[in-house]
């Protein structure tokens, strides 16, 4: 990964210039020229050992140089006098000169080696009309399966009253999940079964996770109680449960007793690669073995993905396309991935012919091996900047739902993304995700209510390739226990004396990393309390957000290379539970020296769940890290939060999460001139004790603002921020609220500021929690001239009737109402003239959607979950009126979730 390593070094040089003021631009430009040479590797397809060895050499030099530049730049930043500063600056120059000489020499060798290899010689004829459009997801297209679909539908919907297990068997990538998903979502199936639920088992299955996947809510109950609860929920109802990707008979034995036979026609649908599993689970008809596509079906699928939207195309390209379709062996995944490749490469006959020849270059009857070859072809043809993005997915578990926000956060600090003028690093990361989706190397898992990608995933066959390439390039190392059987991942446990990325699946294995030189250490699974001896001094990304530490690990303070830090630990305040004495002012959860982490860009603190009745007491120094871009603080109070003249203005800070409402003042917000996202969060007392006006007017760049309220029957909150005449040595005074002394709910918890005190560039506004605001207060929100998104949830506004007044919301595009208990909604199309998407969830009292919404010409989607049938009926009437009056169509989705079926 020489390209990624050189890019990371360039990012480090840029950060050094910001931190120290040193002029390192000549080094930056030289590296940029060398990186452009390495970028040519995307024209050389296949695995070439000689080039790989040279790339590893370049990467090692780049990573070592990064660490040295970090160290000396920090010395410049902390220098006590001019002599120390000058010495450290000269050291930076010397290190970079030596490194560039070494990298340039190795790049020359790399060029000589690559020139000796035969490059492609594309012909001039091209398919000029083929557009660079996104390829559809494989699960959205099912070609040639009509008979199989009808047969499986018949097995699920008909037959006896006994519980039956219906199985689909086939190799990876053949379309088992696609068929199961289509059956699960079929309208006839939806109307026939009272309850539908599905869970993915996968090779890395955990019984608890499977059961939780079938239940409506997360629970801390023991496994046996969870299984009992699932059985009780299903009992007496006709249910369809889809168990996707189950690998072993042991996995089936572990979960089968959860499914009661109520003699009402319930069904279980299994998908598996293992015939033995299907035979073990069967209860009646034999398993259905999915067949490979024939040539016509293969060509039809490729045609739909590449040619269908074109009016005409050259017969030569059609002939080559048919060759490629034939050589994919009838495997839908192989066809989908190769279509993603063809949509991106040069539209010339020579290039297409090269692809056709390479698809069939493996003379083998092993179709899985042939599919892997097709996937490898697509990977090796990725542009250099996308290869590390693809390999990074090796960090995530099989069948894991990967949230885009988390992925973008990690990519942004890893260093391998190119900086582009006029774009934030998050925008660059989002573009890379879309490019991988276009190539069908990853797929979209879920969309957000705004229609943006919320989560993504990777097919397990594609993941096998990802794991192998990540191992070969020493890019990701996955550490597991001895019992894990996946040979590919087991073989990835290579030497830790290299700058790779480590994911740990077992907290006991964390000790393996203590002498590691790892670039990143990520524990993405939830573990019990662990005590950490953090001796891996060079780590840049440390993600322990789901691992509960008993206290703040002080070893973190010596990890000055850190760019990303995520922690979860118990607040110190908890030890004072039950004490009648005031808490001493010296109590603090994080040492003041946290500010010494001068490169930190993302800092996330989490309170342990469910023990979150005690807040963090944080030093104001947490707001003095110069490179900080994202800060998530958990429920907190700041020590000495009042701004002073010498307080650092954080020009880089863009996202501030969980800011206590006590600090929402104009003078405080002046410290963050470039803030784009803000979440104000606290207990009801925190909002009520804010006596000054909420003043956001100085947040000129703020686009997203959320108000969130936390309520716990027992919460320890700050009684007073700064008592009259207090000194820094005075104790903090907290008060514990018990279940019987809850704050009143009949008066507003939050007083909205006037429109001119809101950020004037605000695009998204959310109220989440029992603020007890009156619906008429929303007229203030309606005056925000750029507001496009409004989310109201958890009874934020009270009252049976919402009558929209005055101009309404003239620029609103997205409206989301979740657990908002209005009965009557009175509004016209004039109040929401540009509304595009309306989501209603758990609005149990609402009678209907205003009929006049049929005159909103921009309306494209109404999505309704767990509301009265009359709400769904009103949506369908609006849909019909729009069709009749304007000749256009909108989507209307109505559904009842699993939890609604469980309500008495």
Neighbouring CB atoms inside 10 A of 872's CB total 20
pLDDT digits (tens, 9 = 90+) for 502-527: 887 666 666 556 556 788 888 766 55
The DSSP H or E segment spanning 542 is strand 541-549
* pLDDT band at residue 365 under the 50/70/90 scheme: very low
Measured CA to CA, the distance from residue 523 to residue 413 in angstroms comes to: 17
Q: So what's the pLDDT on residue 440?
A: 73
Write the DSSP assignment of 862-873 as a string of letters.
EEEES--HHHHH
Is residue 61 predicted with pLDDT exceeding 80?
yes
State the pTM of this model. 0.78
Q: So what's the pLDDT on residue 510?
A: 63
Q: So what's the pLDDT on residue 354?
A: 82
Measured CA to CA, the distance from residue 174 to residue 542 in angstroms comes to: 38
Measured CA to CA, the distance from residue 28 to residue 34 in angstroms comes to: 10
Q: Name the packing angle between helices 49-78 and 2-20 (round to 10°).
A: 10
Is residue 644 predicted with pLDDT exceeding 60?
no
Q: 């053949």: which residue's tokens? A: 174
Task: State mean pLDDT over 879-889.
Answer: 92
Q: So what's the pLDDT on residue 814?
A: 97
Least confident range from 37-41, 99-103, 753-757, 850-854: namely 37-41
The DSSP H or E segment spanning 876 is helix 869-886
What mean pLDDT is reported for the chain? 81
pLDDT digits (tens, 9 = 90+) for 436-490: 887 778 888 888 888 899 999 887 778 888 988 888 888 888 775 544 444 444 4
Q: Are the CB atoms for 396 and 456 separated by under 8 Å? A: no
Q: So what's the pLDDT on residue 112?
A: 82
Cis peptide before 610 (omega within 30 of 0): yes
Q: In terms of C-beta distances under 8 Å and separation of at least 24 residues, what long-range contacts does 803-811 make, across chains too?
A: 803/775, 803/827, 804/778, 804/828, 804/831, 804/832, 805/776, 805/779, 806/779, 806/782, 807/782, 807/783, 807/831, 808/782, 808/832, 808/833, 809/781, 809/782, 809/835, 810/782, 810/834, 811/785, 811/786, 811/787
Q: So what's the pLDDT on residue 94?
A: 92
pLDDT digits (tens, 9 = 90+) for 233-279: 888 888 999 999 888 888 888 888 888 888 888 999 999 887 888 88
CA atoms within 13 A on the CB side of 842: 13
Q: What is the DSSP-derived secondary structure letter of residue 720? A: -
E strand map for 251-401: 267-272, 288-289
Q: Please measure the distance between the N-terminal and C-terminal CA atoms of the chain and give it in whole angstroms.
A: 57
Measured CA to CA, the distance from residue 478 to residue 397 in angstroms comes to: 10
Q: Are the CB atoms for 671 and 652 separated by under 8 Å? A: no
3-class secondary structure, 325? helix
Of the candidates 652, 669, 706, 678, the one whose C-alpha atom is nearest the C-alpha of residue 425 is 652
In sequence order, what are the beta bridge partners of 656?
A: 631, 678
* pLDDT band at residue 633 under the 50/70/90 scheme: very high
Q: So what's the pLDDT on residue 482?
A: 46
Task: State mean pLDDT over 796-816.
Answer: 92
Measured CA to CA, the distance from residue 293 to residue 301 in angstroms comes to: 10
Highest mean pLDDT of the ranges 34-48, 312-326, 463-477, 813-827:
813-827
Of the candidates 669, 671, 656, 595, the one whose C-alpha atom is nearest the C-alpha of residue 627 is 595
Measured CA to CA, the distance from residue 638 to residue 399 in angstroms comes to: 40
Is residue 370 predicted with pLDDT exceeding 80?
no
Q: Are the CB atoms for 839 and 815 separated by under 8 Å? A: yes
Retrieve residue 688's tokens. Answer: 């009520």
Task: State mean pLDDT over 835-852.
Answer: 94
E strand map for 719-807: 734-737, 764-768, 773-774, 789-793, 797-798, 801-803
* pLDDT band at residue 362 under the 50/70/90 scheme: very low
pLDDT digits (tens, 9 = 90+) for 3-13: 899 999 999 99
Task: State mean pLDDT over 356-363.
Answer: 60
Give me the numbers of helices (H) and strands (E) for the chain, helices first please.
26, 32
Measured CA to CA, the distance from residue 36 to residue 384 in angstroms comes to: 10
Retrieve residue 427's tokens. Answer: 């925008």
Of the candidates 159, 178, 184, the one whose C-alpha atom is nearest the C-alpha of residue 239 is 184
Q: So what's the pLDDT on residue 563?
A: 94
Least confident range from 133-137, 339-343, 771-775: namely 133-137
Q: Are the CB atoms for 794 and 819 separated by under 8 Å? A: yes
Q: So what's the pLDDT on residue 290?
A: 85
Retrieve residue 575's tokens. Answer: 């030890």
Of the candidates 343, 379, 344, 332, the one whose C-alpha atom is nearest the C-alpha of residue 358 is 379
Neighbouring CB atoms inside 10 A of 277's CB total 24
Task: State mean pLDDT over 337-351.
Answer: 81
Question: Residue 725 burial (CB < 10 Å; 0-12/13-18/19+)?
Answer: exposed
Q: What is the DSSP-derived secondary structure letter of residue 66? A: H
In sequence order, what are the beta bridge partners of 569?
A: 549
Is residue 101 predicted with pLDDT exceeding 70?
yes
Please give the residue that has the higher pLDDT: either 816 or 257. 816
* pLDDT band at residue 651 under the 50/70/90 scheme: confident
Q: Are the CB atoms for 59 and 35 separated by under 8 Å? A: no
Q: Considering only CA atoms, give the Rg of the chain.
A: 29
Please give the residue that has the higher pLDDT: either 302 or 367. 302
Q: 């769940």: which residue's tokens? A: 609
Q: Are the CB atoms for 438 and 340 separated by under 8 Å? A: yes
3-class secondary structure, 718? strand
Phi-psi region of 609 (alpha: psi -120 to 50; beta: other; left: phi over 0): beta
**Domains defined along the chain, listed by start:** 1-116 (1.20.5.4130), 145-289 (3.40.50.300), 295-380 (1.10.8), 382-473 (1.10.10.10)
Is residue 128 predicted with pLDDT exceeding 70?
no
Backbone φ, ψ for residue 216 (5° rounding): -75, -15
Measured CA to CA, the distance from residue 590 to residue 660 in angstroms comes to: 17
Task: State mean pLDDT over 98-112.
Answer: 88
Retrieve residue 139's tokens. Answer: 């699960």
Measured CA to CA, the distance from residue 98 to residue 340 in angstroms comes to: 42
């Amino acid at each position: 990964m020489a390209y990624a390593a050189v890019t990371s070094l360039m990012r480090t040089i840029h950060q050094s210039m910001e931190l120290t003021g040193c002029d390192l631009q000549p080094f930056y430009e030289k590296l940029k020229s060398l990186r452009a040479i390495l970028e040519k590797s995307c024209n050389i397809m296949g695995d070439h050992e000689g080039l790989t060895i040279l790339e590893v050499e370049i990467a090692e030099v780049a990573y070592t140089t990064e660490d040295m530049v970090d160290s000396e730049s920090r010395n410049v930043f902390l220098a006590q006098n001019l002599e120390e500063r000058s010495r450290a600056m000269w050291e930076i120059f010397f290190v970079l000169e030596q490194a560039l000489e070494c990298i340039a020499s190795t790049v020359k060798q790399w060029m000589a080696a690559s020139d000796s290899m035969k490059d492609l010689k594309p012909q001039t004829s091209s398919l000029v009309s083929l557009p660079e459009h996104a390829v559809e997801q494989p699960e959205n297209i099912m070609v040639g399966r009509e008979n199989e679909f009808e047969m499986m539908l018949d097995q699920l919907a008909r037959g006896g009253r006994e519980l039956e297990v219906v199985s689909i068997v086939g190799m990876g990538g053949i379309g088992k999940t696609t068929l199961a998903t289509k059956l699960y979502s079929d309208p006839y199936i939806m109307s026939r079964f009272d309850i539908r639920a599905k869970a993915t088992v996968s090779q890395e299955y955990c019984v608890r996770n499977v059961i939780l996947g079938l239940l409506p809510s997360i629970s801390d109950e023991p496994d046996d109680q969870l299984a009992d609860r699932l059985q009780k929920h299903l009992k007496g109802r006709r249910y369809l449960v889809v168990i996707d990707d189950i690998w072993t008979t042991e996995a089936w034995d572990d979960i089968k007793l959860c499914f009661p036979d109520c003699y009402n026609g319930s069904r279980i649908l299994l998908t598996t690669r293992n015939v033995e599993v299907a035979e073990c689970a069967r209860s009646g008809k034999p398993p259905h073995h999915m067949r490979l596509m024939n040539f016509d079906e293969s060509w039809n699928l490729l045609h739909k993905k590449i040619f269908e939207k074109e009016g005409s195309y050259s017969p030569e390209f059609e002939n080559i396309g048919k060759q490629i379709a034939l050589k994919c062996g009838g495997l839908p995944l192989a066809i989908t991935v190769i279509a993603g490749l063809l949509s991106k490469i040069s539209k010339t006959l020579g290039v297409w012919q090269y692809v056709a020849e390479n698809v069939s270059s493996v003379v083998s009857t092993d179709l899985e091996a042939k599919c892997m070859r097709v996937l490898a072809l697509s990977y090796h043809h990725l542009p250099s900047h996308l290869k590390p993005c693809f390999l990074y997915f090796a960090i995530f578990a099989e069948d894991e739902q990967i949230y885009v926000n988390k992925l973008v956060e990690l990519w942004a600090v890893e260093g391998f993304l190119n900086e582009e003028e006029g774009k934030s690093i998050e925008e660059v990361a989002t573009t890379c995700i879309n490019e991988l989706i276009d190539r069908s190397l990853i797929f979209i898992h879920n969309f957000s209510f705004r229609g943006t990608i919320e989560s993504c995933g990777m097919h397990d066959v594609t993941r096998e390739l990802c794991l192998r390439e990540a191992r070969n390039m020493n890019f990701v190392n996955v550490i597991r226990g001895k019992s894990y059987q996946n040979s590919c991942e087991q073989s990835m446990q290579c030497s830790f004396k290299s700058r790779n990325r480590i994911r740990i699946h077992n907290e006991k294995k964390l000790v393996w990393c203590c002498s590691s030189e790892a670039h990143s250490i990520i524990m993405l699974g939830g573990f019990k309390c662990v005590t950490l001896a953090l001796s891996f001094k060079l780590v840049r990304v440390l993600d322990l957000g789901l691992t509960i530490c008993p206290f703040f690990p002080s070893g973190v303070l010596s990890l000055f290379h850190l760019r990303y830090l995520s922690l979860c630990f118990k607040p110190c305040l908890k030890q004072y539970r039950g004490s009648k004495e005031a808490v001493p002012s010296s109590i603090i959860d994080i040492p003041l020296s946290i500010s010494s982490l001068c490169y930190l860009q993302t800092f996330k603190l989490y309170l342990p769940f469910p023990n979150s009745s005690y807040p963090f007491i944080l030093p104001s120094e947490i707001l003095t890290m110069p490179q900080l871009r994202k800060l998530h603080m958990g429920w907190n109070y700041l020590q000495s939060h009042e701004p002073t003249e010498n307080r650092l203005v954080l020009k880089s800070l863009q996202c501030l999460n969980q800011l206590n409402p006590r600090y929402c003042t104009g003078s405080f917000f002046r410290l963050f001139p470039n803030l784009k996202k803000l979440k104000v969060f606290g207990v009801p007392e925190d909002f009520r004790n804010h006596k000054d006006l909420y003043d956001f007017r100085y947040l000129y760049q703020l686009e997203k603002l959320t108000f969130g309220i936390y309520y716990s029957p027992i919460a320890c909150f700050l009684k007073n921020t700064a008592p009259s005449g207090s000194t820094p040595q005075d104790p903090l005074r907290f008060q514990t609220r018990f279940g019987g002394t809850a704050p009143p709910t009949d008066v507003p918890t939050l007083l909205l500021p006037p429109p001119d005190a809101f950020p004037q560039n605000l695009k998204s506004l959310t109220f989440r929690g029992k603020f007890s605001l009156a619906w008429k207060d929303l007229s203030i929100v309606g005056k925000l001239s750029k507001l496009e998104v409004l989310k109201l949830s958890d009874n934020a506004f009270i009252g049976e009737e919402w009558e929209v007044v005055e101009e309404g919301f003239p620029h609103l595009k997205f409206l989301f109402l979740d657990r908002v208990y209005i009965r009557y909604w009175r509004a016209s199309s004039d109040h929401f003239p540009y509304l595009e998407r309306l989501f209603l969830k758990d609005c149990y009292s609402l009678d209907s959607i205003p009929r006049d919404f049929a005159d909103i010409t921009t309306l494209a989607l109404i999505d309704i979950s767990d509301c009265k049938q009359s709400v769904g009926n009103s949506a369908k009437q609006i849909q019909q009126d729009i069709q009749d009056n304007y000749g256009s169509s909108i989507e209307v989705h109505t559904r009842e979730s699993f939890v609604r079926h469980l309500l008495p």
